[in-house]
Structure 1
Amino acid sequence: MFSWLGFWRRSLLVALLAVSAGLYLLPSPIDPKPHRLKGPPPALEGPLAVNTRLQAGRRLFAGELHGPESFTADQDGNVYTGTVDGKLWRIGPDDSLTLITHMGQNLPECGRSSDLEPLCGRPHGVRLDRGGQLIVADSYLGLHSVDPHSGEKTLLLANSQGAGGVPFAFLNGLEISSQTGIIYFTDSSSRWGRRHVKLEVIELNALGRLLSFDPRTRTVNVLLDSLFMPNGIALSPDEDFLLLAETSMGRILRYWLKGPQAGSSEVVLDNMIGYPDNIRLSDHGTFLVGITTPRFRRPLPPFLDLIAPYPALKRFLAKLVPLSWYNLLLPRYALVLELGPDGEVVGSLHDPEGRLTWAISDVFQHRGRTYLGSTDLPFLPVLESDRR
């Protein structure tokens, strides 16, 4: 006797096998290698002890600034930042907000879909040079000089030009020497653009570089290559070295610019409590590091820790899971590390519940205020102090 139940069971099994075979044969967008971690995340004790120092702030420009990622300031107290819709902004000392320019095309859809970022632009590193011009590292559109008053843009170095025959794909961190005017910057990947940053982190490749650009000679040099998603950089007070964040590896490098070790690099902080983004000098000479994603055992090990040794699993997940779904795995926890001159952790600031913010990209102190950046959040968190 014919059994409809058996028929549907067999049909379901055939369908599942067909889908599984299709997923297996579908090429993966990433080509990861196995990675063994240095160890479990460090304990939340000593200078990493949990506190609520990041909760004593407020949000500015809710719904107006979407992803203010990096900051710089002029002598008049104006602060400058770029947002996910490709715009550059000036924040006045009275907290007024003025649009300076669009890095790319001015489309109504800019900021709504990451697919349009190559057209709209995405300013990441923002600094003022010695002549008072804004230097902007746009992830897609290259290094620019922008007049902070008129908004006029001058292209210094296009992504297509690149360096050493390799185009840029993901310009990110930026720093400028006050002594020489040399611009230091990072290209986080020669393969993945900013909108595919999650694939970059999951793949855990070494396709990033630290570079320099001399505006006088218009020459670009590769200082370090084979880096794991190089991100934020910061000059030491004497400008004898740079600290550099390798985000996907969760570590900090020091690159020597002067002295007997000039041109060499070393790891100064490894197996970090989270994945570092930008690094900035504090108002008292230490370094502040924004942690974009903490590595907490709650109760399982962090997701990226779990999948790190298994390239086959990574390839399968990259084929199956939409990039936006990974946001569900990120803890809503804000964390800033304070580092000494040798990269040692000397303190930390926390917001365990994410009341004010989370996923911090930049920590910029200016005139007694601390600005907390992010890559995607639709507001600007600030901490106030008595020194203004």
Structure 2
Amino acid sequence: MGKRAFSAALLAVAAGVYLLPSPIDPKPHVLKGPPPALEGPLAVNTRLQKGRRLFTGKLHGPESFTADREGNVYTGTVDGKLWRIAPDDSLTFITQMGQDLPECGSSTDHEPVCGRPHGVRMDRHGQLIVADSYLGLHSVNPKTGEKTLLLSNSEGAEGTPFAFLNGLEISAQTGTIYFTDSSSRWGRRHVKLEVIELNSLGRLLAYDPQSGGVQVLLDSLYMPNGIVLSPDEDFLLLAETSIGRLLRYWLKGPKAGTKEVVLDNMIGYPDNIRLSDHATFLVGITTTRFWKVLPPFLDMIAPYPAVKRFLAKVIPLSWYNALLPRYALVLELGYDGEVVGSLHDPDGSLTWAISDVFQHRGRTYLGSTDLPFLPVLEEWED
């Protein structure tokens, strides 16, 4: 092929790609500034490297955790399964959230059928409450595995179906189930498009198990993810993952029903938020906003919708992982949202992309959305 013919073919391919519709409709996002410096409570350390991995090859993407009074810990994985981890670290299958097929867990394409449990909590009656990203809000008997559908994704709330159920929290005082729908457009398997598009199609909701009613507490949120109640249950902390921000939603007092930003321009993109053993908040950082050499990828493309539309057309979703740093980070926050400490694994030698930080009986469980093992810390260093 001559140079002229090659150039013409290349131009035709470029024109074809340009004319292809993009799956996303992004808006420009103006960053608050560069990520905060790694100093003070954010100073680099190796505290997360002092743990170990459990259930390698058996638990794939243990995303979220809860525990019962007997000391059993529960989690859900990418193949749609719920598991019980006994105090002696024996592993027991509880139930399949969707259909139990051989293909479950092999690809995100099967998740809408197999299910994908994200938020998992134990209610006041000893039942597991599970927010399955595709199949809705469920109650599950932890002994028999019997499932009861509380609220389906197709039902949704206020006329809008759910597409991506995610975070979960239950009031010990009232039994109210708080949960997040990260997007009304993108499901979990397209979470990377959700983050790149940077839309505000998420909601914070409350479900009353007595009446079966559901209420929208906040809408127009940027990928709302993990939520946690304060020790006195006077407010919820909520992570807006795609813009690296934490909100406080007041449940009691003169500000009840209002929200406020408590932490912005974070060092990374927050996932779940949990109470620690000593009444601080622990935030799992799914992706940090710094590289050792290059600027952070998501920061670079945030202001440029045309670039994001083009990337969504030409780059397979599975390739984006190579553009993200393999760095593990946990933030510890005080009552008002200030960063009081951090735990790092700079080389990802134990884990990375942390989704949840759950402390139970002296052990810290570190969740992830996709990694094929469960990292734990046996001791928590102050």
Give the TM-score category using the shorter length: over 0.9
> For 2:175, which of 181, 197, 201 is the aligned residue?
181
CA RMSD of aligned residues (A): 0.9
Q: Deviations over 1:84-118 (max 9, x none)?
A: 00000000000000000000000001000111100
Per the TM alignment, residue 11 of structure 1 is displaced from its structure 2 partner at its CA by 1.1
Give the length in aligned residue pairs.
Answer: 381
Sequence identity (%) = 83
Give the letter aligned to residue 323 of structure 2. L
1:258 corresponds to which residue?
A: 252
Give the letter aligned to residue 370 of structure 1. T
The aligned runs of 1:334-353 (5 Å cut-off) are: 334-353=328-347
Per the TM alignment, residue 265 of structure 1 is displaced from its structure 2 partner at its CA by 0.3
How far apart, CA to CA, are the structure 2 residues paired with 1:94 and 1:297?
Answer: 39
Matched, 1:68 2:59: no
1:86 corresponds to which residue?
A: 80
How far apart, CA to CA, are the structure 2 residues paired with 1:190 and 1:201?
Answer: 13
Give the letter aligned to residue 56 of structure 1. K
> For 2:44, which of 45, 50, 53 is the aligned residue?
50
Q: Deviations over 1:165-197 (max 9, x none)?
A: 000000000000000000000000000000000
Q: Is the 8 A contact 2:364 2:380 kept in 1?
A: no
- Secondary structure of 2:243's aligned partner: coil
Per the TM alignment, residue 340 of structure 1 is displaced from its structure 2 partner at its CA by 0.5
Structure 1 stretches of 4+ with a deviation exceeding 2 A read: 297-300
Give the letter aligned to residue 318 of structure 1. A
Per the TM alignment, residue 330 of structure 1 is displaced from its structure 2 partner at its CA by 1.1
1:4 corresponds to which residue?
A: none
How far apart, CA to CA, are the structure 2 residues paired with 1:94 and 1:300?
Answer: 44
Unaligned runs of 5+ in 2: none
2:115 corresponds to which residue?
A: 121
The aligned runs of 1:288-303 (5 Å cut-off) are: 288-303=282-297
Per the TM alignment, residue 386 of structure 1 is displaced from its structure 2 partner at its CA by 8.4
1:9 corresponds to which residue?
A: 3
Give the letter aligned to residue 72 of structure 1. T
Unaligned runs of 5+ in 1: 1-6
Based on CA coordinates, which of the two structures has the bigger radius of gyration?
1
How far apart, CA to CA, are the structure 2 residues paired with 1:227 and 1:38?
Answer: 17
Matched, 1:331 2:309: no
How far apart, CA to CA, are the structure 2 residues paired with 1:142 and 1:15?
Answer: 48
1:101 corresponds to which residue?
A: 95
1:243 corresponds to which residue?
A: 237
- Secondary structure of 1:260's aligned partner: coil
How far apart, CA to CA, are the structure 2 residues paired with 1:10 and 1:181?
Answer: 71
How far apart, CA to CA, are the structure 1 residues paired with 2:43 and 2:272?
Answer: 21
Per the TM alignment, residue 10 of structure 1 is displaced from its structure 2 partner at its CA by 1.1
Query: TM-score w.r.t. structure 1 length?
Result: 0.97
Q: Deviations over 1:280-306 (max 9, x none)?
A: 000000000000000114322200100
Matched, 1:231 2:198: no
Query: TM-score w.r.t. structure 2 length?
Result: 0.99
- Secondary structure of 2:21's aligned partner: coil
Matched, 1:279 2:273: yes
